[in-house]
Amino acid sequence: MKLTQLTTFCLFAILTILGYCAFIPAKHTAAPEESLYDTLQFNTVSVSGVKLGSDYGKVLEKFGSPDSVRKQENAIEDQSDFYEEYVYDKDILFVVNETFSGFELKTARFMLDKLDLKVGDNASKVKKLFPKSFKNRDIDEFNPDWVTVSVQFGQSDSFLDIYMEEGKIKSMITTTEDGTEED
């Protein structure tokens, strides 16, 4: 009789544990969220021969003295309090802590080397280089000829924003997620 009671107890315990486990929610690992953007690695992007992340001396060596240098307050907390804007005509190169950190290109003077991309190029070139970003482009609600294509720098919150009007690149700007210029 004792053996039967022990067997019944063990069977009951096993069934109870199995029943309990059936109601424990399984841990699901969510699939990584599909990015809406194509990506570039920040330190592989070069502007007319000068890589982002280079010492500011390379900017001066390659492009000469800027037309002006503007010191600006930096809103990004983990960087220095100020950054400099090296102004070459309508183009601006951003220098943070003596490092070439971003740009706002509005003329064809500068180009993104490996991409062979510059202001004035056709939108079709952007579409070919960045199909995912182009598919998810931002079209201005008031003027559908104004389009922004964003390309993410790695997994960061920084982007290369390519602004186009009437099928042509009008400017290329490095930005952070909140829309401020990369500085």
Give the pLDDT confidence score for residue 15 in this predicted structure: 41
- Mean residue pLDDT across the chain: 83
Per residue in 98-110, pLDDT (tens digit) is 999 999 999 999 9
Higher pLDDT pick, 21 / 57: 57
Q: Are 181 and 173 in contact (CB under 8 A)?
A: yes
Class of domain 39-176: alpha beta
DSSP helix/strand/coil, 58:
helix
Q: What are the φ and ψ backbone dihedral angles of 16, each rounded to 5 degrees? A: -65, -45
Domain ranges of the chain: 39-176
Percent of the chain at pLDDT exceeding 90 = 68
Q: Is the pLDDT score of 126 beyond 50?
A: yes
Whole-prediction pTM: 0.76
